[in-house]
Structure 1
Amino acid sequence: MSGVQRPGLAALRRLVLALSCLFLADSATQAGELDRAGLARYFPPPLVVGEKDDILPVWPILKQQAGSYEVFAYAFESIDFAPIPGFGGTPPDLLVALAPDGTFRDVKVLSHREPVFLEGLGSEPLFAFVEQYVGLSARQPIRVGRPNARASGASPQTTVDGIAMATASTRTINQSVLASALAVARGKLGFGAANVGLRVEAKADLYEPLGLDALLARGWVRRLTVTRQEAARAFRGTGLEEAGEGAQDDILADLYVALLDVPSIGRNLLGPARFEALMRELGPGNHAVMVLSAGPSDAPENPLGESFVLGSVPERVSVGQGGLVVNARDMAVERRGAGLAEGLPAGDWTILRIDAAAGFDPSVPWMLTDKIVRERGQILSEKITRDFSVETTLPGNLFHRESAQDGPDWTEAWRARLPALVGIAGMVALLVPVLVWQRRLVADARRFPVFRLAFLAVTVAFVGYGAQAQLSIVTLMGLVRAALRTHDFAFLLYDPPSLVLWAFVLGSLVLWGRGTFCGWLCPFGAMQELIAWLGCPLRIQLVVVPPALDQALRKAKYVVLVGLLAATAAGSPAADAMAEVEPFKTAITLSFLRSWPFVAYAVGLLVLNLFVYKGFCRYLCPLGAGLALAGRLRILDWIPRRSECGTPCQLCKVRCRYGAIAADGRIDYPECFQCMDCVTIIHDPGQCVPQVVARRHAKRIVPRPVPAR
């Protein structure tokens, strides 16, 4: 085509070669970089940073308590345990401090490459977002809600407020915090079993009257007894074999253990009224374990004696499953008049509450462990403990089992964004028939312009501001980073509207080329076109760019594309700043709520559009350049042409504001934005010059495709 040249393929080949070399060379995995001195800046005195764990990259943070140091928290970097790529293609690095009970002491952002926060919203909203985790528990399935979700009634224990215009990024941060915390919890805190997310409830309608002897015979109530002889055997070699006076067969500890939320157990032990009250207080999905000490309250090995604190996590009694300790806390229920079944011995007792989030599955074997503690030494005493356990195995048919979490974390984003997905699917379903069956609407010179303007308005309002689905070169940069460094592309799944739109755009490139997205579904492109239409009353004359200059400027966007991807592949910190050549973040993602240089740049491009129609799209847009290159795989030359187009008729060329029609009438598809003006003209017998001439001579002519260059 005269005057239309393809971008240099040599430069593209060089870029591909450079990316390939970097891919082969960069095999290092990312890891945390804080050393002991670096951590000390975040945990100043009276806290002390202990020695790094020999196995896990975890640092104990110690606090002096009663003359000795106790673990205040375990500090670690999320990137060491959960290097989940963010929307920029690289994982955020968060400093997490996890208390021994699984509570978040602190969460801070060490580094990130999230585009919406880099020179966008700024990092302050992200810093405030992670502060919400302080005081929450890693044992709970924490979700990212809408902005101000907590104030609107969402649970403050399981929900953190999201950030408008940063949905995908905050979900990635949340997943990084929880995944890394659970990894540390499994290794250091004894919880975080694979059952997290599993909901197991006792069947409320399954009840059988049973006495204590029958419950013991079935193994539904278990008894743990420890004699003086057994304790001496356990402490052999410590010098603490003897403890007090008494016969070897004297019982030191005598515990009865039962899962109360099973009606055939709890109702028989507590009585109907007390059982119903307990279940109301317990709530659905949670579990209650009764531990009754049959020995006297002043016995030295009674774990529920006077030193036991109601409402606390017992120090000596624990519930475990699969080798991990399950969080169980005393419910502090009323002890008097408990209505315990006849036959249960008198003694101190507790009901331990196990929340559903702990991943406890009572339908598989679990254990109750009693720690017997002895001390040696008078000045610097040393505590020696030995564990004594009893296992409970209950029939699986007593329980309902179901998954409380339907799929991985990113599925929550898809459920939350379902309305946006439906809206985008509806727009695509409306657009495709218009492009395929042109004569039904495109050929109508009166109705089609109204349809197009309305569609573009919806693109700006819904796709841009509503669904936040403005596609960007940042996604391609993220793909490069992921391919060369993390090899993890899951970050795409956290932004469902954009991913669905990307899928359609890639398909449309093969059929129709770049213009389907750039001319119809790009919010900033649609905004430019609407502003140009609104500016018509101003009668601003478009600047005619000289052909030679026009062709040179069209190549600039390919240079920008190559520069951005090369800088990204090389790991240059300037890559994210260079991506600001796109005004999408300023105009669409952040709704112009940005510092004045960025706003001035975006507004300047919109003003330029009044004089050089969609000048940014034609000359600077790196995303458009990438789509234009991919669009060369197009299999259809689908815009109809006539043999008279270009010779002698030049009407479509003159009307094309993009300069995408050559003098010989051929369509330059990489530069075509599918405004469809030329299609309307060629189907309109009142506008198409060859048809007007043919009608005067009583001839009939038919449009036919003319191959594009």
Structure 2
Amino acid sequence: MTHAQLEQKFPAPLMIGQKDTTVPVWPVFKQNATANELVGYLFESIDFASVPGFSGTPVNLLVALDARGVFMDVQVISHHEPVFLEGLGEGPLHKFVNQYRGISLKQNVAIDTAPRDRADKSGGNVHIDGVAKATASVRIINQSLLSAALKVARKKLGYAGTRDPDQIARIREELAESLDIRALTANGLFKRVVFSNGDVENGFAGTAGAGLDAEALARPDDAFIELQVGLVSVPSIGRSLLDDASWQRLKGRLEEGDHAVLVWWNGRYGPVSGSFVAGTVPDRLILSQEGLPIEMRDLNLDLKLRDADALPPASMKVFRIISQAGLDPAQALDLSLRVTRLKGMIYPERIGQDFAMRYRLPERFYIVPAGDNKSWLPVWKQRWWELAIVLAGLIVLFLALARQKSLAQDGRRFGWFRTAYLGFTLFFLGWFAQGQLSIVNITGVIQAIKDGRGLDFMLYDPVSIVLWCGVLVSLLIWGRGTFCGWLCPFGALQEFAARLGKWLKLPQIRVRAALDARLKLLKYLVLAVILGSVFVAPSLTDKLAEVEPFKTVITLNFVRSWPFVLYAAGLLLASAVCYKFFCRYLCPFGAGLAVLGRFRLLAWLPRRAQCGQPCQTCRYRCDYEAIRPDGTIRYDECFQCMDCVVIYQSDEKCAPLILEKKRRVPISIRAA
């Protein structure tokens, strides 16, 4: 972005200063009387957080951050995300980034679709709407934006750090010490602090609130408030402080990664006012870490202490900190008690002062994670059950293929298994889990490597990663056919289209062998053009990749402009009359797998000496035309449908077995 372009985007009364020579940001000023007041900073996200998107190219955002760390504006400068290029269109992308306006870096941003009050951007946690069909892309954008903004905030706004939910310490759940209240207090696990009337009065010294509390002036040594605080979500503290029933009730209200703070108090003042509503945020007590506020909310639980006689009668509440807030138990918890005094009668002036206490958990109660940024981990945790189903599906398929003889022994049983698995591939892997592998995966990796960027962006799509692992294993063992014949959602849809075409008695076209061989070379040409464009004309790569209808059919469920829908529908219609037309002749991803599949270890399809010499049954039955006249298999064109294996084992379909069966039939000879 140039200075002139920025002035057009942020016109008067804002003034854009000259670009910083040490940090690539533009200061933004606003005239206040005769002085120019600093409003904030403008910067491009790619200068600070170059996180590759799914095309291998980072999304570049123009970010306006005010002097308090609040987003003034976020705009998309450039992107190459496939789902927003001609797919969903750029509208949802712009709508997504617009949600960051008014959000502070001191808040936790969660992307979800749960029904919440999106207009409320106060408090420690803010929820914004994601984009259906683009879950991984918006998480990459979120990571880019927040990472870049925090780097600017540290360098220009004095921020000391941030909360990364995936890099915080974890409580050691297996450690369960048994301590009484005296030991808990002595070790700082149940931290005690007393503010006397004199302490509070001294806190207001020099302000308009000084001398307004007659009781504090009369009895300065008396307790204003006695506070005791404990992190009761830590098993050793919770079990020791609470009785067994209360501990079980507390555990039942906490999700994994949540924390709970027990606050006990006595005296003339409390951490909640008389107007406090149960279940809400405390109105007088603030929790923060490293200067960043963390929201805690009343659990509204009636809990009892294990040794209630050890403490005088007092009030007690337990506040919950959800895991998304990013509280780090390895860091000190800073608690501030807000004390407010009123001056005046009709419209009194409110004067407030904060009184701080610090709580620190000993090291033996937590585990500090090692390593670098792992911001993709929440995506994997959130989709764990989908990944478990995908992994189970791969295991079932691999076991079935490894036992092909028993699987294909009964043609009817095998037909049901294949239909069921293709249904799983289409409906679960494709339309639900969005696990359609594509040439875009390959071009994205090449683009990232060419530009010297990492491949972390792939980790934001865990289903695809698991599928890729399965495909790479299957390529080494069986070749291309495992994915193309069993794990490709669009391939499964084409097979169902072919079955529908036969059921409707549509004319079936079988391309002559010579022409079929020439047409099959087309997909290698398409592959070469797309891969070449990555180096010659990267801007065309996304457009050329549209030869694949996967985005239209699987990702967007045909909700797209009519040329794309018409193209995809035409390919399905072609498959209804010419078996798997796109897969055999046009698919660049299949061509890439065919090339990689040449390094397979096994020629796993069984053959007989009579196959092709003279028997041609399997060759004529193969809808893929992947069997040569001499009976050998073209594994680069084989889709592993295993129809030839069913024929090979059937003494009703395989000509050599039929002849052998006839020879075994005894012919009785009787006298004439």
1:173 counterpart = 2:141? yes
The corresponding residue for 1:520 is 486
Task: Find the partner of 2:474 among 508, 514, 522.
Answer: 508
1:161 counterpart = 2:129? yes
Task: Decide whether aligned partners of structure 1 residues 555 and 421 sit closer, same or farther in structure 2, where only a CA change above 3 A counts.
Answer: same
CA distance in 2, matches of 1:152, 1:105: 16
The corresponding residue for 1:529 is 495
Contact 1:50-1:60 within 8 A present in 2 as well: yes
CA distance in 1, matches of 2:162, 2:409: 60
Given residue 271 of structure 1, which amino acid in structure 2 is its aligned partner?
Answer: G
Given residue 99 of structure 1, which amino acid in structure 2 is its aligned partner?
Answer: D
The corresponding residue for 1:51 is 18
The corresponding residue for 1:629 is 595
Q: How does 1:688-699 map to 2 (within 5 A)?
A: 688-698=654-664
Task: Decide whether aligned partners of structure 1 residues 504 and 259 sit closer, same or farther in structure 2, where only a CA change above 3 A counts.
Answer: farther
Q: How does 1:409-448 map to 2 (within 5 A)?
A: 409-448=375-414
Contact 2:109-2:128 within 8 A present in 1 as well: yes
CA distance in 1, matches of 2:544, 2:360: 63
Task: Decide whether aligned partners of structure 1 residues 534 and 394 sit closer, same or farther in structure 2, where only a CA change above 3 A counts.
Answer: closer
User: Shift of the alpha carbon at 1:190?
Assistant: 1.5
Given residue 438 of structure 2, which amino acid in structure 1 is its aligned partner?
Answer: S
The corresponding residue for 1:108 is 75
Q: What does the per-residue CA deviation read over 1:132-157, in whole Å, with 9 as the maximum and x for residues that have no partner?
A: 11111112231221376667999994
1:89 counterpart = 2:56? yes
Task: Decide whether aligned partners of structure 1 residues 149 and 464 sit closer, same or farther in structure 2, where only a CA change above 3 A counts.
Answer: farther
Given residue 66 of structure 2, which amino acid in structure 1 is its aligned partner?
Answer: A
Task: Decide whether aligned partners of structure 1 residues 75 and 267 sit closer, same or farther in structure 2, where only a CA change above 3 A counts.
Answer: same
Contact 2:330-2:363 within 8 A present in 1 as well: no
1:640 counterpart = 2:606? yes
- Percent identity, please: 42
1:589 counterpart = 2:585? no
Given residue 164 of structure 1, which amino acid in structure 2 is its aligned partner?
Answer: A
Given residue 187 of structure 1, which amino acid in structure 2 is its aligned partner?
Answer: K
1:672 counterpart = 2:638? yes
Q: What does the per-residue CA deviation read over 1:523-550, in whole Å, with 9 as the maximum and x for residues that have no partner?
A: 1110010011122232223223222221
Task: Find the partner of 1:274 among 247, 270, 285.
Answer: 270
User: Shift of the alpha carbon at 1:70?
Assistant: 1.7
The corresponding residue for 1:477 is 443
Task: Decide whether aligned partners of structure 1 residues 622 and 150 sit closer, same or farther in structure 2, where only a CA change above 3 A counts.
Answer: farther
Segment of structure 1 superposing worse, 83-92 or 407-416: 407-416
CA distance in 2, matches of 1:531, 1:154: 49
Task: Decide whether aligned partners of structure 1 residues 363 and 582 sit closer, same or farther in structure 2, where only a CA change above 3 A counts.
Answer: closer
The corresponding residue for 1:497 is 463
Q: What does the per-residue CA deviation read over 1:321-366, in whole Å, with 9 as the maximum and x for residues that have no partner?
A: 6xxx65799xxxxxxxxxxxxxxxxxxxxxxxx9996979896699
The corresponding residue for 1:99 is 66
Contact 2:500-2:576 within 8 A present in 1 as well: no
Task: Decide whether aligned partners of structure 1 residues 504 and 196 sit closer, same or farther in structure 2, where only a CA change above 3 A counts.
Answer: closer
Task: Decide whether aligned partners of structure 1 residues 144 and 209 sit closer, same or farther in structure 2, where only a CA change above 3 A counts.
Answer: closer
Task: Decide whether aligned partners of structure 1 residues 185 and 600 sit closer, same or farther in structure 2, where only a CA change above 3 A counts.
Answer: same
Given residue 426 of structure 1, which amino acid in structure 2 is its aligned partner?
Answer: A
CA distance in 2, matches of 1:71, 1:695: 93
Q: What does the per-residue CA deviation read over 1:552-605, in whole Å, with 9 as the maximum and x for residues that have no partner?
A: 111111111111111012343111111111011111111111111111111111
CA distance in 2, matches of 1:107, 1:415: 28
Given residue 516 of structure 1, which amino acid in structure 2 is its aligned partner?
Answer: T
Task: Decide whether aligned partners of structure 1 residues 455 and 263 sit closer, same or farther in structure 2, where only a CA change above 3 A counts.
Answer: closer
1:71 counterpart = 2:67? no
Contact 2:285-2:335 within 8 A present in 1 as well: no
Q: Which runs of 5+ in 2 are unaligned?
A: 172-183, 207-223, 231-261, 296-320, 337-354, 666-672
Given residue 274 of structure 1, which amino acid in structure 2 is its aligned partner?
Answer: G
CA distance in 2, matches of 1:512, 1:200: 43
Contact 1:261-1:288 within 8 A present in 2 as well: no
User: Shift of the alpha carbon at 1:170?
Assistant: 0.7
Contact 2:73-2:101 within 8 A present in 1 as well: yes
The corresponding residue for 1:246 is none
CA distance in 1, matches of 2:87, 2:463: 21
Segment of structure 1 superposing worse, 479-488 or 197-206: 197-206
Given residue 206 of structure 1, which amino acid in structure 2 is its aligned partner?
Answer: F
Report the count of equivalent residues.
Answer: 553
The corresponding residue for 2:239 is none
Task: Decide whether aligned partners of structure 1 residues 567 and 45 sit closer, same or farther in structure 2, where only a CA change above 3 A counts.
Answer: same
1:613 counterpart = 2:613? no
Given residue 509 of structure 2, which amino acid in structure 1 is its aligned partner?
Answer: V
CA distance in 2, matches of 1:488, 1:500: 19
Q: How does 1:204-603 map to 2 (within 5 A)?
A: 206-208=190-192, 263=229, 271=267, 274-275=270-271, 288=286, 397=362, 408-603=374-569
RMSD: 4.1
User: Shift of the alpha carbon at 1:66?
Assistant: 3.9
Task: Decide whether aligned partners of structure 1 residues 153 and 401 sit closer, same or farther in structure 2, where only a CA change above 3 A counts.
Answer: farther
CA distance in 2, matches of 1:36, 1:90: 24
Task: Find the partner of 1:190 among 144, 150, 158.
Answer: 158
CA distance in 1, matches of 2:105, 2:624: 55
CA distance in 2, matches of 1:402, 1:272: 39
Contact 2:189-2:361 within 8 A present in 1 as well: no
Task: Decide whether aligned partners of structure 1 residues 671 and 148 sit closer, same or farther in structure 2, where only a CA change above 3 A counts.
Answer: farther
Segment of structure 1 superposing worse, 488-497 or 144-153: 144-153
User: Shift of the alpha carbon at 1:508?
Assistant: 0.2
Task: Decide whether aligned partners of structure 1 residues 196 and 100 sit closer, same or farther in structure 2, where only a CA change above 3 A counts.
Answer: farther
Contact 1:365-1:391 within 8 A present in 2 as well: no
Segment of structure 1 superposing worse, 136-145 or 177-186: 136-145
User: Shift of the alpha carbon at 1:119?
Assistant: 1.3
Task: Decide whether aligned partners of structure 1 residues 678 and 327 sit closer, same or farther in structure 2, where only a CA change above 3 A counts.
Answer: closer
Given residue 613 of structure 2, which amino acid in structure 1 is its aligned partner?
Answer: T
Task: Decide whether aligned partners of structure 1 residues 516 and 210 sit closer, same or farther in structure 2, where only a CA change above 3 A counts.
Answer: same
Contact 1:48-1:63 within 8 A present in 2 as well: yes
User: Shift of the alpha carbon at 1:656?
Assistant: 0.2
Segment of structure 1 superposing worse, 202-211 or 586-595: 202-211
Given residue 633 of structure 2, which amino acid in structure 1 is its aligned partner?
Answer: I
- TM-score, normalised with respect to structure 1: 0.70
Report the 3-state secondary structure (helix = DSSP H, G, I; strand = E; otherwise coil) of the residue aligned with 1:90: coil
1:663 counterpart = 2:633? no
Task: Decide whether aligned partners of structure 1 residues 435 and 102 sit closer, same or farther in structure 2, where only a CA change above 3 A counts.
Answer: same
Contact 1:363-1:399 within 8 A present in 2 as well: no
Task: Decide whether aligned partners of structure 1 residues 579 and 137 sit closer, same or farther in structure 2, where only a CA change above 3 A counts.
Answer: same
Contact 2:107-2:293 within 8 A present in 1 as well: no
Report the 3-state secondary structure (helix = DSSP H, G, I; strand = E; otherwise coil) of the residue aligned with 1:74: strand
Task: Decide whether aligned partners of structure 1 residues 557 and 445 sit closer, same or farther in structure 2, where only a CA change above 3 A counts.
Answer: same
User: Shift of the alpha carbon at 1:263?
Assistant: 3.8
Report the 3-state secondary structure (helix = DSSP H, G, I; strand = E; otherwise coil) of the residue aligned with 2:270: helix
Segment of structure 1 superposing worse, 150-159 or 659-668: 150-159
